[in-house]
Amino acid sequence: MNPLKKLLGQTAVYGLSSIIGRLLNYLLVPLFTRAFLPYQYGVVAELYAYVGFFIVFLTLGLETGFFRFSEKNLKPATVFSTALLPIIFTSVAFIALFTLFSQPIANFIKYPDNKEYVTWFALIIGFDVLASIPFAKLRQEGKAVKFAVFKFTNIFINIAGNIFFLILAKENANEFLQQFHVAAFSNFYSDRVGVGYIFISNLAASGAIILLFIPDLLRSKFQFSKDLLRQMLIYSAPLLLAGLAGIANEVLDRILLKVLIITPIGVVDSQKYIMAQIGIYGANYKLSILMTMFIQAFRYAAEPFFFKQNKEKKSRQVYADVMKYFVIFCLVIFLGVTLFIDLAKGFISEPYWAGLKIVPILLFANLFLGIIYNLSVWYKLTDKTKYGAGFALLGLSVTLILNVILIPKFGYIGAAWATFFCYFSMMIASYLFGQKHFKINYPILKIIAYSGLALFIYFGFNYFEYASAFVKYGVASGGIILFISLTGYFEKLHLLLLRKMKK
């Protein structure tokens, strides 16, 4: 099979669970932003920032290490067991420690009256970490359908839990529900728990996945190798460092906003104002979800694909083609969201619309992040993972410096620009070093030209005022069609020229 078609097919299957699943979860955002005020939703945005960091830390970088050593023709059962057992240890230890010290931790993060949040998140994180290697095994074995089914199960339980607690059980729904004789559901809701029901639903979903994996784990033959673990940890340690720095780049802004935002003169409740700013930022970050979903689906398929493709003669040309088409897809998403922002903003309630200006910035920042994932192929295939750690640390330094400078002056807009320049700097550094150590002839001029075309259409669209929504959406649709037509024309022309040259 054509390798690009194979990658596209796998991306589509993984995307079915990732994109549709995230889209369904995304549909919860209107529920959250209508059920809770910005300062309340700020709690959700802040606490989930910690989740990503701990998941990366506790998986020890062994997910990618599992793929790498599985492709070295080692015994699959031994590689799986050796990667899984340390993960079991870190997960159980984390859950035990954070449950035992839940009150001091709650005091430290300034939620002294909600130590249960710490316990719930410890279980969520522990369960998700435990599932990481079994999920990686499904990807490595090409069991994309089973992977999708498990992911959908997780998503369904999470959505069902939120609907139950925040719609069926919430007290302000009693009057509506009484006519259906289900007012008793209100006994399951307490205002004191509030946003905690979002966490409870997530916990139930994460726990269910562990139960689904138990039969697979019981059938596995555990053949632990101490020497193999040492090799895997040496390979994965830089990736762990890169992952920690990477997730810090992704979520640190929400944590720093709480510390660095300056409350305007005249604001009575400083804490509520700060949490509201975090809530607005977090909600608008969700509007870049289509880009994030595509990148995640691509990553699920691309990582094992890149390792397997390395054995082929024309692998580097394939990597270059993958990069080009990846960028084109992302630019279409960028235009789709930004040109139809008036429709997209309907997914969050009006108090959050003040942050819509950061959406284009974050979309392009995520495009850079996706390019970084493509570029990472060179140091993963050459076992020079220390460079990945270096690039992530570079990004982290940019994140810290720019957030400290920009947030006090511009608030969450400064945080968005810090994210943009963080990923931009990492992308440039990874490309330059990659060309030196593992040269791939990426079509840089085309990628720049296509990006410029997308930005020209975006700025041109926003330059004019429109007589009606009908006209505005018609022009927006025309802009997207123009972009797809022009890129398609130049790609077709390029293929024709290649065929003539071969003749």
Q: Nearest-5° angle of CA 204, CA 22, CA 289?
A: 135
- Predicted pLDDT at 303: 67
Region of poorest pLDDT, from 43-52, 214-223, 310-319, 429-438: 310-319
What's the helix, strand, coil split of the chain in %, to 5? Answer: 85, 0, 15
- Predicted pLDDT at 181: 47
SS3 state of residue 191 = coil
Q: What is the pLDDT of residues 301-344, one digit of tens each?
A: 676 677 766 666 777 888 888 889 899 999 999 999 899 888 87
Distance (Å, rounded) from C-alpha 182 to C-alpha 168? 8
Q: What is the pLDDT of residues 11-21, one digit of tens each?
A: 555 556 656 66
Buried b (16+ CB within 10 A) or exposed e, 345-384: bebbbebbeebbebbbbbbbbbbbbbbbbbbbbbbbbeeb
Domain ranges (residues) in the chain = 3-463
- Predicted pLDDT at 431: 92
Per-residue pLDDT band at 405 (split at 50, 70, 90)? very high
Q: What is the pLDDT of residues 139-193, one digit of tens each?
A: 777 777 788 788 888 888 988 888 888 877 775 545 555 555 455 555 666 777 8
- Predicted pLDDT at 330: 92
Distance (Å, rounded) from C-alpha 202 to C-alpha 15? 21
Q: Give me the chain's average pLDDT, please.
A: 81
Secondary structure string (H, E, C) spanning 424-442: HHHHHHHHHHHHHHCCCCC
SS3 state of residue 407 = helix
Per-residue pLDDT band at 392 (split at 50, 70, 90)? confident
Kindly report each contact of residues 306-309 with a partner whose C-beta sits within 8 Å and lies 24 or more positions away, as own/partner.
306/377, 306/380, 306/381, 307/67, 307/68, 307/71, 307/380, 307/381, 308/71, 309/3
Cβ pair 386, 238 in contact under 8 A: yes
Q: Annotate 264-286 with DSSP letters as a single string.
A: PTT-S-HHHHHHHHHHHHHHHHG
- Predicted pLDDT at 445: 92
